[in-house]
Structure 1
Amino acid sequence: MKKLKTILFLLINASLFAQNPITPPGMYIADPEAHVWEDGKLYIYGSRDESDDYWCSYSHNVLSSENLIDWDITEKAFSSKGEFDQVPHHDNLLFAPDAAYKNGTYYLYYCSPGKPKTEGVATSTNPNGPFINGKQIKGVYSIDPAVLIDDNGQAYYYWGQGKPTVAKLKSNMMEIDEATITHPLDKEGNVAFHEGSSIRKIGDLYYFVFADDSRDNRPTCLGYAIGKSPMGPFEYKGVIIDNFNCDPSSWNNHGSIEKFKDQWYVFYHRSTNNSQKFRKACIEPIFINKDGTIDEVEMTSQGAGKPLKASKIIEAEWTCGLSGNVRITKIPSTDIISEGLSEIKNNDTAIYKYLSFEENTKSFEVKTSTASEGIIEIRIDDKQGQIIGTCDIQANSNKVSYKISSCKIKTVKGKHALHFTFKTKENQHLIIDWFRFK
């Protein structure tokens, strides 16, 4: 199978700056399982969203990076249907995967809906794939696999929706020992657990991460539990991150934790397009406390890097919080795929965390593509914070053209959260591509 590979270069020309989400415009990768393999790179295996009519797609892409800033994208590393089909026993969609490495072989564990749901495993000699010869794992009829290989070489397989399950994997990494099947979470954890098992070992403790629906009656959180054995019991400890408010229709979360170059991170996804689908992978640093717990972290725009330079172009889709009707969508463009904020109506808001302002910052400019007019109130630190500027947006005569609007701002320096409040007339909405401070 021929691999399609794209190198994603960020717009920020500094080695210490990154951004969320990490996927380029028009590409939607959810359920990110992150692993650092023998070559020192970090690899992300996840679902690929392609339609609002169904979850996920029929293929998996693989993201990889040497620095969490520049990303390689290997497309169609594994497929269940079509030209590169490697699943002979069905042509169903591919939901969230995981991966493992043992004795020179990379194992991709996949799952699919259907009657019954099925899970399987494919192999490769390369972490980017292609993963071939998909084989069904007997005795497992659910979704969302996760795999841990312990220090003694014993592997464990986790899966489940509604209630998690674990069993030992046999030495071939392709079969479970059905005699070892157990349910590893404590009572509180089982109440919070929705789906999306993920497993890591930190020191002598085992961390079980999962989609957590203990808030708002939907699994927008990543929760975690800790145990002293890979088979549990795992004691529920709380929430690592909540993606609520990333999109008007945000429904679920799914991800993992992984250590990269002496720093632990949480990998999760956010929704876009006012949809439960079209999800994008994101990253935040986390910290393991002395007692083994993990403090909850907030969603940010800067992700794995330092605060974004306010003087550089900030893409509007890097927002880490929305309220009202506004959402991230593709926007009109004559050359490349572009995303931004659209359907912006009166009193909608958008948040960016965090920006670094230089001492001589005096003005704000924004690129819009709309036949509507409106106002952007620019606040710092919180939604009721100081207004440092108000930018008037004039209507364009051509809906596919763009306009650069600007305004003076009060002097700002240092690190700040940025809050936009939008003012529009009835039946009008704004579309924003990017902004910056000068």
Structure 2
Amino acid sequence: MNPLLPLRHFVPDTEARVMPDGRLYLYGSYDISRETTYCSDILHVFSTDDLIHWTDHGVALRSQDIPWASKGHLLYAPDCIYRDGTYYLYFCMTGSYEGVAVSDSPAGPFHDPVPITPADQDSIDPAVFIDTDGQAYYFWGQFHLRGSKLNPDMKTLDLSTLNTCIIDEKEHGFHEGISIRKRNGIYYLLYTDISRGKATCISYAMSRSPLGPYKKGGVIIDNINCDPETWNNHGCMAKYKGQWYIFYHRSSQNSKFNRRVCIEPIFFDELGYIAEVPMTSQGAEPPLSAAAPVSAALACQMMHGPYIIPSADNEIEILSHATNGSWAAYRFLAFDGPHSFSITAAAAINGGTVEIWADSLLLGSCPVTPTGGWDIFRTFYCAVTPVSGIKTLYLVFRGNDLDRRLMDVKEFRFYRDYASPAC
């Protein structure tokens, strides 16, 4: 399900790499929940063999381990590659520091960091790529992308090959966040695209050469409306067990920060173009069962106010600040002809009504009365029109208090019969 990792881990700016042991490793920045700043002074590494169960390998690198950088700077946007028995972790920091550290394990810890010149103190967001002929390439930059061949030491650049404007913001919408992959002879640059007004898209450009020229292909995913304050997106695409996926992040907690990694399968046409995909709640897994309890925090899109926050005890996440006319989408749910519905919600003062929609069909409306406090949750029930199949579920919130918070929601579920209380 989305997000991929447990609640305590807020990992944006991810690179997913299948390493020689066959596991998929996830490298990314590390946000701190409830903080209002990007990233932190540590990097974690995670791995999986099924895209569902993830191992946290702990801290792989700390900013205090970077001897040439100023103290107190934050680490972000790493990439990692394997070559000849060594794993190379490329990273950047506030202050535009860029460097590489090494390890004999894909999980780290990484050590002996050195700067990448001239990328160090020039810009941000490194990306590394080894072509099928063995040549390695290094990319970095914001607003205009730089790139060159890497020398065999994997730590210095062949400046005779340097291209200082592979793609740019004016022509391609390139804002930051580069990642590169190759498929069927086509090189794909994935990047944060600002063309729709915010840097919420991951788009791609295509070429027959690693250093270009590149032509923009289109948007792969847009995380707009994952949170009222969402600003950026950054990720990669990776092939695992025969399927290609896009890894991206979503903001939470009504902020640009507190970002968490998500995943969607992607598909190519016969010319190599990638179809834009929507954000989903299911991610790489089958559709969620409407017959089982569904966490309200699995909403993949929200409009007109709601956002995801940790609960008061920090044990789960909830959907908070539903207001009149706001809605939350859950894509996709598998329905089996339910006749009733329950929602577990808190309403300090007013409460309201929750309309339940499956695609464009209104299934029913469930009243939520005041519970006495935002930390006091009760379960409410109503009958619904039966529906079957895979649908997008929309919860639409209605109330008399037009501008204020009506309710918070913990979870909901559907029932096939009328046996539930008050139905």
Q: Please classify the TM superposition score into its range, dividing by the shorter chain length.
A: over 0.9
1:407 Cα shift?
1.4
Are 2:49 and 1:104 equivalent residues in the alignment?
no
Fraction of identical pairs, as percent? 41
TM-score of the pair, normalised by structure 2? 0.93
Letter in 1 for 2:114: K
1:422 CA drift (Å): 0.5
Are 1:248 and 2:228 an aligned pair? Answer: yes
Query: Is 1:36 aligned to residue 23 of structure 2?
Result: no
Within 2, Cα distance between the matches of 1:218 and 1:312?
36
Residues 215-261 of structure 1 show CA distances to partners (whole Å, capped at 9, x for unaligned) of 1x211101101111111111111111111111111111111000011
The equivalent of 2:214 in structure 1 is 234
Distance of 2:69 and 2:199 partners within structure 1: 31
Task: State the match for 1:6 in structure 2.
Answer: none
Aligned with residue 284 of structure 1, among 264, 268, 273: 264
Amino acid at match of 1:350: A
- Asked whether the 8 Å contact 1:246–1:321 carries over to 2, the reply is yes
> Alpha-carbon deviations, 1:178-225, whole Å to 9, x = none?
22210463578744100001000112111111001111x211101101
Is it true that 1:174 corresponds to 2:149 in the alignment?
no
Residue among 314, 337, 341 paired with 2:315: 337
Residues 282-332 of structure 1: CA deviation (Å, up to 9, x unaligned): 101011211011111111111111111111221111111110111111122
Letter in 2 for 1:347: G
* Superposition map of 1:410-421 within 5 A: 410-421=385-396
The alignment partner of 2:11 has SS state of: strand
Matched, 1:409 2:390: no
Q: Which residue of structure 1 lines up, in the alignment, with residue 135 of structure 2?
A: 154
Q: Distance in 2 between matches of 1:276 and 1:399?
A: 24
Confirm whether residue 429 of structure 1 aligns to residue 406 of structure 2. yes
Report if aligned partners of 2:300, 2:330 keep a CA contact under 8 Å in 1.
yes
- CA RMSD, 1 decimal: 1.6
> Which has the larger displacement, 42-51 or 423-432?
423-432
Of the candidates 205, 221, 224, which is equivalent to residue 225 of structure 1?
205
Aligned length: 408
List per-residue Cα deviations over 1:126-152 (Å, max 9, x = no partner). 111111122111210211000001112
Whole-angstrom distance in 2 between the partners of 1:299 and 1:423: 24
The equivalent residue for 2:94 is 113
Aligned to 1:298: 278
Which residue of 161, 164, 170 maps to 2:145?
164
Partners of 1:22 and 1:280 in 2: CA distance: 8
The aligned residue for residue 134 of structure 1 is 113
Unmatched segments (≥5 aa) in structure 1: 1-18
TM-score (norm 1): 0.90
> Could you tell me how far apart the structure 1 residues matched to 2:323 and 2:157 are?
53
Question: Which of 24, 27, 30 is 1:48 aligned to?
Answer: 30
Residue in 2 that maps onto 1:260: 240
Kept in 2: contact 1:87–1:133 (CA 8 A): no
- The equivalent of 1:8 in structure 2 is none
Distance 2:166 2:387 in 1: 49
| 1:26–1:339 contact (8 Å) kept in structure 2 | no
Counterpart CA distance in 1 for 2:132 and 2:309 is 44
